[in-house]
Chain A
Amino acid sequence: GAVVSQHPSRVICKSGTSVKIECRSLDFQATTMFWYRQFPKQSLMLMATSNEGSKATYEQGVEKDKFLINHASLTLSTLTVTSAHPEDSSFYICSARGPSGSYEQYFGPGTRLTVT
């Protein structure tokens, strides 16, 4: 149980376009989801925390107008990278707070974004 999926797994887009990444909790309801960015050979950097039905809380230094996060349901959060530029190329990972009583975050498989 406690499976999180991400779609797409890889995406290539042209500079100036927008791209949406979906994160779904498949077998549990996730009131809280997290979005991370990971650069090569580095640790995970928390971008934002999203709670179902409310605005996301962004970490310092993360442009909220560039990285739009919507947590419209208990099983779906989306990250939209707007007006993407090559420097936005990265590996994006989502995670979900586990079912009630769980101590853990459950991670999606990640999305590789390449902006050309």
Chain B
Amino acid sequence: AQTVTQSQPEMSVQEAETVTLSCTYDTSESDYYLFWYKQPPSRQMILVIRQEAYKQQNATENRFSVNFQKAAKSFSLKISDSQLGDAAMYFCAYRSWIYQLIWGAGTKLIIKP
């Protein structure tokens, strides 16, 4: 069975600085998708970024980028120029071919003004 591990329960960063959130996963599949979701205090889940396992190029969405290391089964999220609105819970998720998402425990990101 697949598992997703987020080892950082909480991270804090100064506004405008860069922070990296860690995620590792375990799977025997070769084709899958990885996601980072943001859950702000409103609790609406918001997709931040996704990565297809067959793509070697790391995904980037504006200030958000990932470091995808397939062999190491690592999928970290880098947030550049952190803003107050980035404060939220961040969840790493793995999607197998059956479309179910396997979730990490989450990392609470605190932005210091």
Contacts and interface: CB of A to CB of B under 8 A. Distances in A.
Given A34-B100, A42-B105, A49-B100, A103 B95 contact: yes
Contact of B43 (A43, A49, A91, A95): A91
B84 interface: no
Contact of B52 (A44, A49, A103, A105): A103
Contact of A107 (B33, B45, B52): B45
Nearest to B108: A41
A46 B106 CA distance: 15
Contact of B99 (A32, A38, A43, A107): A32
Contacts of B105: 42-43
Contacts of B95: 103, 105
A17 B101 CA distance: 31
Interface residues of B, number: 18
B62 interface: no
Interface residues of A, number: 18
Contact of A103 (B33, B100, B106): B33
A99 interface: no
Nearest to B102: A46
A35 B46 CA distance: 16
A104 interface: yes
B103 A43 contact: yes
Contact of A43 (B42, B47, B104): B104
Given A91-B43, A104-B47, 9 more contacts: A32-B99, A34-B101, A42-B105, A95-B45, A97-B99, A104-B50, A105-B95, A105-B101, A107-B45
Interface of B: 33, 35, 42-45, 47, 50, 52, 91, 95, 99-101, 103-106
5 contacts: A32-B99, A42-B106, A43-B103, A43-B105, A105-B99
